[in-house]
Structure 1
Amino acid sequence: MTRVAVEPEVQAERRRAPAPAPAQRSAAKRRRRLREGLEGWGFVVPALVIVLGLSIFPAIWAFFLSLQKWNGFSPAENVGLGNYQQMVTDSELHDAFFHTLLYVLLFVPTSIGLGLFLAVALNRRIRFIGLYRTAIFVPFVASAAVTGILTTYLFNPQFGLVNNVLRVLGLPQQGWLEDPSQAMVVITIMSLWGQAAFTTVIYLAALQDTPAELLEAARIDGANKWEAFWAVVWPQLMPVTIFATIWQLIGAIQLFDLVYTTTRGGPLNATQTIVYYLWQTAFQKLQFGYGSAVAYGLFALTLIITIGVVVYSRRSKTEGF
């Protein structure tokens, strides 16, 4: 009974208590936001320190190093823009540039076209479609070492599987990885085996996001599947195409791992790319200053090409970013 009698008095006292002032409520909100912000930064800061430590700081150090001549042991010698001037007359670097350009021209358009073809083929409701999609994506997650070993097994001129098949068919055997005119083609084929899955997944997601009403309207207007694809689906895929092109272009310019695990730049430096030449210069010849200059030159080239593609895509109103 006492408790029942007291509770109404307590509730009445609470109703008579003054409400918090607006200034107090504002201060409480600021304290709560500050606490939430500190908690968020507590999760972000460790990863941020790692990113800055492994990217920003090395990039700044490499820039100052590109202005010096240093072999990693003796005192560094300031040469100003000497390393960049040397790049203009370096014939070996020029050869590496043209090898990289050849690889880009072979790899990027083919990876985009192959990815689109596979995505259209896999955008169907058939039995075991999940298995087929998984099988297409498996090579993408394979390491460069595995891809290199597979490349050697398939295209070795002496005991490779491809030449054995040609021998059985009575066709002339090829030099493949030991032929300067064919080695880069082999590198491109194996790169497509591993990287075409990326564009396939991107295109497949875009195809599944295409409004079915547009395709139905095209069919009502009398368009066949081929006409509907080019008139309706392809314009919807243009932003994805721009994004995939830039992504594959950057990856192609930075080709290193597959060359390292297969040809080591041979034969006769026919597969020596810019990044592989950079690695040789810095870590084999111990020319860290010149290697850093080459790295910044490669960065500038990649940035210019990327900006050019983005500007063109935006002017044509097909931007992918």
Structure 2
Amino acid sequence: MKFSVGVGAFFGGLFSVLILMLIFRAFDGDATILFGAADGKSIDILSGIILPLVSTFAGAAAGSFFTYKFQVKNQRVEQENRDVALIRQAFLALQSQLFDLGGLKKSIVIPFASHKLRFLDMPSVLGHTGVTDRVNQDVSLPLIRHNNAEVLQKVIMAEMSYFNVIAIHRSYEALSAAYKQKLREGGVGLNDICSFKFKVSKVGGEIVAQLYVTGEGLIELLDSAILDVAEVLDELSGFYTKNYKSSENRMLVSKSIESAEDVFKKTIPPFFCDLNEMMDASGYEPQYFDPATNDPRPLRRLAKSDWADGGYKVR
């Protein structure tokens, strides 16, 4: 841009000189006609020729320079406005996702966090499909321009955490629906009071194991996603305040909500520390199928010391 301004100023001045020379040649050197010296006196070369040429060249250069500065300023303002719009859009999209995560935790996790069988008790949120707000990927332009690639990576990872929560929640809802259907088919109502072992005997150990893994995974990922998105909002707010200092642009602030304090607390650990402990308490006993008869038998039969006893055919 600077080079083009210099070239423009040079050719502008040169063009002005050529015009004056052509006019001079057109009047065949008659200084009286050209410069209006009707009294026939000699013309001052410095004031009559050189200074007009210099002022013409300087005027062209100054005009080109200030045009360049004006264009640069306008481009800078336009670029900042685009950057501001992208940062605000990313902030508002992540904020919407955070509110959705907080609402999900309040509805299905917090009321049942202390239940021993919380992985079975968490209800379905009817119609929940997540928010439609997504981060515009062009937000990478202002963040990279200001050497904040780390913030950009956190923005991407925070939104991916939100997507993962929504996906796992859908899987949990499908498993929970299948579990409740099996209970009804076994004659057990959702409001009936019965033991954990009795429930497992009706629905089987496989679906209960899947519910434990998926349900506890959902709780853990939900806690992590909430903290990740909240941290990214703070960093975006700091980046915004640092790089966009005009008063009309300083309108992005991340503040904690006191009423949502429980949402940002990590959920207490589950009653069963792992899947094996839960399966032991369920009373579920896997079976194996006799190779000779295909009859189902308890898996503990395989641990017998006398393999010739207990229904095995001796060949």
TM-score normalised by structure 1 residue count: 0.24
* Structure number with higher helix proportion: 1
TM-score w.r.t. structure 2 length? 0.25
